[in-house]
Amino acid sequence: MGALPLNRRAFVKQSLACTAGFAWAQEAQTTSLREAGKEKGLLVGTAVSNAQLQRPNFTTLLAEQSSIVVPENEMKWQLIHPAPERFDFTRGDALVSFAGTHDEKVRGHNLCWHEQLPAWFNQLATPQNAADLLRHHIREVAGHYAGRIQSWDVVNEAVHVADGRPDGLRKSPWLRLLGPQYIDIAFRTASETDPRALLTYNDYDLEQDSPEHEAKRQAVLSLLRGMRDRNVPIQALGIQSHLKAGPKVSEWAGFHRFLEAAERLNLQIFVTELDVDDSALPGDIAERDRQVADLYRDYLQNVLRHRSVKAVLTWGLTDRDTWLNHFKPRQDGMPQRPLPFDADLKPTPVFYAMQDAIRTAPAR
Ligand code: G3I
């Protein structure tokens, strides 16, 4: 993005001025996340829902801060493919159109996942017709958006080591219906349908220091190596980055090795769903904000050392809209504070941590 129009610059300054209580308040000098990213050749953005697009204050902030967006739910099977022969692109189109108006790129999320499958799918799908159902869905959806999507999450969350298979694959409906070949079918069909989109494998629990994350890193690498061996078209790895704050601090050694291995497979890397679950932290807001922001800064400084990382998206722009309050509510009933803007659209310490990390990252 070029220089912000004056009114948008004024908005940044106005919203930043409201945070004068923060210690790190050289706010008037602060640029948007989008501008900071541009300086480094990095796309920066967020997941967006259709409901958020109806709120004018939100859309002003979104246009100002993001050079890339992704629909939080609107391109998932259940919403975009409500009946076997009916597709509903209304909500997805609204975001793609917004992005076009504001010179933002769009990630597609997602073409094949074990969650949010429509009820009709469970009634209709059989081992005999599942490959055709998958191909039909991808041809219709990726075909509808062809040329307008920067990258597609073609397969989402196919690895779940705890399911106990030697290859680490999740016992998903797709696996039960088709076996492991469903992954190759999805990528090959997406590649035929929209050759311009960067085809991405996207997953979570790959980042932090723990035996579970390390086992998942190894299983994902083995999946990716197998795809390369079979000449399956894949250009990128999406690292969701739903982090959890707590007493254990990660040193990221296993994560760096993982990123280097992905780079050797010639994959671009996208941080696709960054946020921090603060449910294990004390309620005190200043202390909680500090620890959440510290984790953001530490994580981003580490991941951005890798020039293969081309985009960073948070899973939501404001704390008002986080999925965490529904899926991982705090025991004390207080709302989580996981995102760069608070419920009143004011920048939080996370915003400044993201600024710091992007400013000190190498250009790519
Ligand atoms: O569409 C129905 C709507 O008709 C109904 O009125 C409403 C009542 O609650 O539910 C709506 O569906 C909800 C949907 O979000 C849209 O709001 C689902 O119940 C709810 O389960 C769904 O949650 C989403 C979740 O994925 C499951 O799809 C979250 O918003 C979304 O943040 C979350 O995102 C996932 C990524 O796609 C993949 N990675 C993990 C990430 C966090 O779980």
- Verify whether ligand 1 is closer than 6 Å to residue 73 (CB atom): yes
Beta bridge partners of residue 151, listed in sequence order: 107, 198
Which of 104, 207, 214, 273 is an active site residue?
A: 273
Whole-angstrom CA distances from 246 to 211, 217, 277, 309 are 16, 21, 9, 26
Handedness of CA 219, 220, 223, 225 (dihedral sign): negative
DSSP 208: S
Residue 161's contacts (CB-CB under 8 Å, 6 or more residues apart) are 168, 212, 215, 216, 219
Active site residue 273: yes
What's the pTM value of the predicted model, to 2 decimals? 0.93
Instruction: Judge whether 187 and 155 are in contact, CB under 8 Å.
Output: yes
Instruction: Judge whether 169 and 201 are in contact, CB under 8 Å.
Output: no
Active site residue 157: yes
Instruction: Judge whether 235 and 268 are in contact, CB under 8 Å.
Output: yes
Instruction: Judge whether 159 and 214 are in contact, CB under 8 Å.
Output: no
- Verify whether ligand 1 is closer than 6 Å to residue 342 (CB atom): no
What pLDDT is recorded for position 220?
A: 98
* pLDDT one digit per residue (tens) for the chain, 364 residues: 333 333 344 344 444 444 434 444 444 457 999 999 999 999 999 999 999 999 999 999 999 999 999 999 999 999 999 999 999 999 999 999 999 999 999 999 999 999 999 999 999 999 999 999 999 999 999 999 999 999 999 999 999 999 999 999 999 999 999 999 999 999 999 999 999 999 999 999 999 999 999 999 999 999 999 999 999 999 999 999 999 999 888 999 999 999 999 999 999 999 999 999 999 999 999 999 999 999 999 999 999 999 999 999 999 999 999 999 999 999 999 999 999 999 999 999 999 999 999 999 999 9
Mutate to test the pocket of ligand 1, among 73, 207, 319 (most ligand atoms within 8 A of CB): 73
Structural Rg of the chain based on CA atoms: 20
Dist CA 212 CA 247 (whole Å): 17
Mutate to test the pocket of ligand 1, among 49, 117, 323, 327 (most ligand atoms within 8 A of CB): 323
Dist CA 127 CA 306 (whole Å): 41
CA of residue 64 to ligand 1 center, whole Å: 26
Nearest CA to ligand 1 atom 35: 72
